Structure 1
Amino acid sequence: MITRTQFSIKKEVYRRILHLGTVSKADLMKDFPITSSSMTRLLDEMTNQGMIRISGLGSSTGGRKPILFQTNPFYRYILGLEISRIYSTMGLYDMHLNLLESKRWKMDQRMTPENLVESVGQEATQWLDEKNLTTKDILGMGVGAVGPLDRSRGIIKRAEFFQASGWSGVPIRELLEKRLNVPVRIDNGSNTALLAEHWAMRGSEIRHLLYVHAGIGIRAAMMSDGRLIRGAVDPEDAVGQMVIDTGGPRLEERGNYGAWEAFVSVRALEKRVQAQLKLGRGGMLRDRNPEELRFADLTEALSAGDAFMREQFIESAAYLGIGLANLINILHPECIVLGGPLVEAGELVYETAIEIAQKNLSQTQDYSPLFSRTKLQGNAVAAGGAFMLMNELEF
């Protein structure tokens, strides 16, 4: 049973209707310890406020057909924002997390925090004008950002590998609230992506979920019994420092030797290919200047069927699988969701990683986790930011 104050029960009832999609008062009474008359008053109040709406009548069990309720997707709107090192993405969502508008910015040398905030503000203003909305129609903005973060103060603390300057000690929540004039909440991007993926698979009733993002670095988030797992600190990319080969390399002359990210990351793959080109290898890229090669060049060669590049991506995928097996053997999630540029580069990366992970799982007869690609792909972090804000704010 859910025990909350009357005010909190209203929010919990809304969440329950949102999760179930369509529900009767009798269905809700199974989960909330309030009287039938109190539930009726609460549903009437929420209907009058426009939070929920009557969707029809259910099947009769002998008496009158029950009234069915749904949440109203147009009660308010939500902005979701991903702040990442390669691209940043913003979406406008309704209260069912349907994506209504989307905008992506390349995070080049010009995209300082101030320029990103101004770009976000201009785009959001344009969306509101086009849809005849005001800031009062916007519940707020949820942000998924690279870390490390100070969540309580809304600060990006020491972000690395941005091309533009100024991405350390950024009071991003304050900057966005001032520009947009709406409430803003912030969390690391892997957590918000996990929330979005869990929402996308809500019909499966999965409660234990692991999300791994392989990009510039490796980020991960875990949900246990439907709740995010948090530690004393929140460096989302620390999982990349898991040692998988004690005699292995070190990435960027920092971190652990043989760390996961030194084998499985966009930076690691770029450096490995560059080194191979200097030795005379490189397939269709062998005549290119190694120092000018970037991940987009590698994925293009992979898509063109280059055998050398296929070998390099398979090697990265195999190490991705080894690290996944380590995490799965410790955390035992029901489902593992894989995302990020490296996973999205080709089918063989995803399939190889899963194959290697499964070969190295502990042999437990009653445990067979599911694997899945991210369902929301490039919109997962922003969508999860919107979902996070919807859950955290009182409305």
Structure 2
Amino acid sequence: MIEELLRHHSPAFQGMRDVYRVIHQESPVTKADLLKKMTMKQTTLVRHLDALKQYGLIRIASYDESSGGRPPALYDVEPKAAFIIGIALSRTETTVTIVDMSFQLAAEETFPMTEHHTPPLTISLLKQTITSLLARNQIDKKDVLGIGIGTVGPLDREKGVMYPEGFTAPGWEEVAVVEEMRESFHLDVFLENGANTAALYESLRRRQRNESILYCISGWGLRCGVLTNGIIMQSQKGDASSYGNMIIDAASGRTLSSFISYHHLVDKAERFIQTGDLAVSETNPNKNDVLQYVLQELKSGNAAVENIVLDSAYYYGVGLANMINVLHPEIVVLNSELIKVSSAYYEKVIQTAQGFISRTDQQRPVFQPADDDVNPTAVGACVFAFYSKFS
């Protein structure tokens, strides 16, 4: 029924959409609070509330404390009224997430991205995974509001095409991912950089919609999403990797990404392997094998590997401070496998950044690691799809 709410454009349906959007943002919320936030008469609001309840889109979640007389009803969205699909498509793994209208996780599945995962194979797996998740969780496709995709840029949002860099498999030069998904599922599909959708998730999780957030995802590259007063700061080319191109060493012209990416760590580790200071079990290890070895040895406390990683953390902190000095975020979130494995790496990044932040009397951002309970990019892609439908 939510598609009917979105499909019609009469003043009545527009009013219902406005009420639904506010309930979704503020839930649970009383009728009195809705009246304060909306420019409509009480009789009109009551009519819209009744219609939304009849459509099964909202419910009375509970009742607030009474100051005398009947306690006021607290309105909330009906979670199972519809579902949203979110995709996090990255260089290392791809996750498909389904959430309900409260953005609570209904289903999720992840598959790795290897040198064999070309665009045709990846898109085929995406279609299979979505179809399987819908069937296993008894979700009818007509109850799906849309699909959000958070991925690696550069990308063209209007054309629905991604032009990513750094995938280990060939063929990722120009991929019309939106058209592929739209033709298969006949749903609205929305494309955004994954770092931005992750920042949207963080805003949702904190329930502070007007905060400024810097969300950094480091791995084979560096992607940074920025919310300014709760709104995505979109670059025209959809490239969140540009932050990694800042020059850190003027003499050599080396960039931030060249100091902190997995490519850098793997190259450094391979030199130690060649000299015999580090040893891997594989005969001819590829880059992914070496990376997994680095992560495992870091977890085990290998001093040589830790020195490589902590040296990288210093440069990350310098680059992070530069971003903070320009963007002035209130919240800084770091997402990386290195952070999950090594608290020393995380602490070195933060300590270094704090040493280079200017005007600490005026800006003291809160640093935090990424939420590890869900895939922030995938859930954020669901949020992005919802906002796009209700814009």
1: distance between equivalents of 2:241 and 2:362?
31
1: distance between equivalents of 2:122 and 2:378?
15
Q: Which residue of 1 aligns with 2:66?
A: 60
For structure 1, the 5+ residue unaligned runs are 249-256
Q: Which residue of 2 aligns with 1:253?
A: none
2:134 corresponds, among 128, 142, 145, to 128
CA contact (8 A) 2:98 2:106 kept: yes
Tell me how far 1:213 sits from its aligned partner: 0.8
CA contact (8 A) 2:209 2:230 kept: no
1: distance between equivalents of 2:364 and 2:192?
30
CA contact (8 A) 2:280 2:290 kept: no
1:133-172 superposed matches below 5 A? 133-157=139-163, 159-172=164-177
Q: Which residue of 2 aligns with 1:351?
A: 347
Q: Which residue of 2 aligns with 1:315?
A: 311
The letter for the 2-side match of 1:54 is: I
Name the SS for the 1:41 alignment partner: helix
Q: Which residue of 1 aligns with 2:322?
A: 326
Q: Which residue of 1 aligns with 2:124?
A: 118
The letter for the 2-side match of 1:239 is: Y
The number of residue pairs the alignment matches comes to 380
CA contact (8 A) 2:108 2:133 kept: no
Tell me how far 1:81 sits from its aligned partner: 0.6
Indicate the RMSD between aligned Cα atoms, in angstroms. Answer: 2.2
1:270 aligns with 2:275: no
Q: Which residue of 1 aligns with 2:187?
A: 182
CA contact (8 A) 1:274 1:290 kept: no
2:101 corresponds, among 95, 118, 125, to 95
Tell me how far 1:280 sits from its aligned partner: 4.9
Name the SS for the 2:317 alignment partner: helix
Name the SS for the 1:333 alignment partner: coil
Q: Which residue of 1 aligns with 2:215?
A: 211
Tell which deviates more after alignment, 7-16 or 143-152.
7-16
Tell me how far 1:121 sits from its aligned partner: 1.9
Q: Which residue of 1 aligns with 2:203?
A: 198
1:256-280 C-alpha deviation (Å, 9 max, x unpaired): x220001011111111222344445
TM-score by length of 1: 0.90
Q: Which residue of 2 aligns with 1:31?
A: 37
TM-score by length of 2: 0.91
CA contact (8 A) 2:195 2:225 kept: yes
1: distance between equivalents of 2:122 and 2:45?
45
Q: 1:77 to 1:346 in 2, by over 3 A?
A: same
1:300 aligns with 2:304: no
Q: 1:6 to 1:362 in 2, by over 3 A?
A: farther
For structure 2, the 5+ residue unaligned runs are 1-10
Percent of aligned positions that are identical = 31
Q: Which residue of 1 aligns with 2:4?
A: none
Q: Which residue of 1 aligns with 2:7?
A: none
Tell which deviates more after alignment, 356-365 or 146-155.
356-365
CA contact (8 A) 1:118 1:179 kept: no
